[in-house]
Amino acid sequence: MLGSQLLVYFFKIYALLIIVYILYGLASSLTYFQSLKNCWKYFPNLKGLVSGIVFSSFGLGSFIFISIADRVIKSNEEKTDEEIIKDFKLFF
């Protein structure tokens, strides 16, 4: 929310990109850190294993989401709404 409000005031593309990258990096790092902190709290003896699982799950989640989104976008060419819904139900 703060990011979208800040972006309204920037008219130069380089300032826009800097703000976007800073906010994205900050949000990503806070998400990673909070997940790791909770896992380290509950599994203090397995910090390395838990860290690997957390980082792998973030990467795997991105890969799966991008694959599904790509397939849905490419499958919507020249199809009716019923066909799109039918194809989308194949994922779940």
* pLDDT tens for each residue of 59-92: 888 888 888 877 777 765 666 667 667 766 655 5
Residue the block writes with tokens 């499958």: 75
| Nearby residues of 31 by Cβ (< 8 Å), 6 or more positions away | 58
* pLDDT tens for each residue of 28-64: 788 888 888 998 999 999 989 998 998 888 888 888 8
> 68-75 — which CB contacts under 8 Å span 24+ positions?
none
Give residue limits of the domains in the chain.
Answer: 1-42, 46-92
